[in-house]
Amino acid sequence: MVLVYLGFINIAVESEVKVVENLGVTDVEQAQQTTPFLILKSVSETEKVFYDTQHTVVEEYGQLSVSGRYMVDKEGSPVQLRGMSLFWSQWMGKFYTQETVRWLKTNWNVTIVRASMAVEDVDGYLNNKAREKAKIFEVIDAAIEEGIYVLVDWHSHHAEDYIAEAKDFFSEVAEKYGDTPNIIYETYNEPLDVSWSAVLKPYHEEIIAEIRKYDPDNIVVCGTRNWSQRVDEVVNNELSDKNVMYTLHYYATSHKENVRRLTETALANNIPIFVTEYGVTDYSGDGEIDVASANTWWNFLDENKISWCNWSIADKAESSAALKPGASGKGKWSENEITESGLMVRAEMKAKNSY
């Protein structure tokens, strides 16, 4: 029997293989999205549903690296990852679960998730090291199991004040997970108004050296001055490591052509950029959603193969939160539990991510 691949859907079945006669689009749309399957059609026009054997994104792309201004896969072809950032670990820890990561992969089509290790403030890493590390490790383990990439973020605005702690954290992550291609390191979330040359570059060099003791290959993303927006200042003053990218953050309602011009300067000089955090709201994480600006930014990122993580998987009462207050930390959110911004970003990923 000849079987023709038609695509993949999510449908709940109880047996290993289920034959479906005259399976229509309406039936598929109404099916519960629980486990991915492939739709295969025989020459007899009988449609069958089998367990999905499609490769995961990590199996497809493999070991990522940097070539020129692009993130590239194991074959050297440019790739773009799209996914979600979790909120500060100490304040939204209920979403740091295997179930959340699995749901984001299967229902939101993420190819990457960002685990945001809160450093300062009440109950962050500095005060609750073991507890916060356990949250990050659970997300990393879940991402590896689900076959997606994971961005391990040192979520601080003053990381240069905690170099020893950052070195300890990243060395532990690198030693534990450095042999897996899923890992991407983010050494500094959002520096404030501090010098790239005098403060940030030396900081990143120290942390990268610690990571490279255990992990020679995986990409390291490095924060830039002024809330990770001055990627242009890296030009002619790059880090020497061959697998480094530079962080750009924006919020679509607040940051528009002015920030894109800075980004274009960096790109024109072969600076590889990763948008590790952005929102479709204003810079506060709240306020109005600017749909036109969000779409302009998405088009710009697509044109330049720039990967991104949206802020954030949280149920905080603010417009950048993807979920409404009271949403479960175990995934399986209905559309009624997803906010306007969450629905926008989810639709963007489902339309463009193929895994």
Is residue 138 flagged as an active site residue? no
Among 34, 51, 68, the domain boundary falls at 51
Q: What is the pLDDT of residues 203-256, one digit of tens each?
A: 999 999 999 999 999 999 999 999 999 999 999 999 999 999 999 999 999 999
For residue 127, which of 171, 165, 172, 174 has the smallest C-alpha distance?
Answer: 165
Please pick, among 190, 210, 233, 348, the residue that the annotation labels catalytic. Answer: 190
| pLDDT at res. 54 | 67
Contacts of 150 (CB under 8 A, 6+ apart): 112, 113, 114, 115, 139, 140, 143, 144, 182, 183, 184
Q: How many domains does the chain have?
A: 2
| pLDDT at res. 88 | 82
147 lies in the same domain as 272? yes
Torsional sign, CA 26, 29, 35, 37: positive
| CB atoms inside a 10 Å sphere around CB 323 | 22
Query: Binning pLDDT at 50, 70 and 90, where does residue 47 land?
Result: very low
Q: What is the dihedral of CA 19, 21, 22, 23, to 10 degrees?
A: -30
- Residue 310 predicted with pLDDT over 70: yes
- Residue 318 predicted with pLDDT over 70: yes
**Could you tell me where the DSSP H helices lie in 178-308?**
201-212, 225-228, 257-268, 291-303
161 lies in the same domain as 306? yes
- Joined tokens for residue 309: 């993580």
CA distance 349 to 322: 13
What is the average pLDDT across 10-26?
Answer: 33
Q: What is the CA radius of gyration of the chain?
A: 21
Q: Return the percentage of the chain with pLDDT > 70, whole number.
A: 85
Q: What pTM was estimated for this model as a whole?
A: 0.86
41 lies in the same domain as 99? no
62 lies in the same domain as 15? no
61 lies in the same domain as 98? yes
Is residue 277 flagged as an active site residue? yes
Contacts of 247 (CB under 8 A, 6+ apart): 186, 188, 189, 190, 221, 222, 223, 224, 228, 231, 273, 274, 275, 276
Q: Return the percentage of the chain with pLDDT > 90, whole number.
A: 81
CA distance 138 to 77: 30
Query: What is the residue range of 313's domain?
Result: 57-352
Q: Calculate the alpha carbon distances from 351 to 80, 296, 345, 347 in Å.
A: 14, 16, 10, 6
Among 51, 70, 86, the domain boundary falls at 51
Among 33, 51, 69, the domain boundary falls at 51
116 lies in the same domain as 39? no
Q: Output the domain CATH number for residue 269.
A: 3.20.20.80
Query: Binning pLDDT at 50, 70 and 90, where does residue 50 land?
Result: very low
85 lies in the same domain as 214? yes
Please pick, among 47, 186, 210, 277, the residue that the annotation labels catalytic. Answer: 277
Whether 40 contacts 4, CB under 8 Å: yes
> Lowest mean pLDDT: which of 12-21, 67-76, 80-89, 108-117?
12-21
| pLDDT at res. 55 | 87
336 lies in the same domain as 203? yes
123 lies in the same domain as 29? no
40 lies in the same domain as 172? no
- Residue 11 predicted with pLDDT over 90: no
CA distance 281 to 286: 6
What is the average pLDDT across 101-123?
Answer: 95
42 lies in the same domain as 65? no
CA distance 123 to 277: 22
Query: Binning pLDDT at 50, 70 and 90, where does residue 63 land?
Result: very high
46 lies in the same domain as 155? no
Q: 152 has which bridge partners?
A: 115, 185
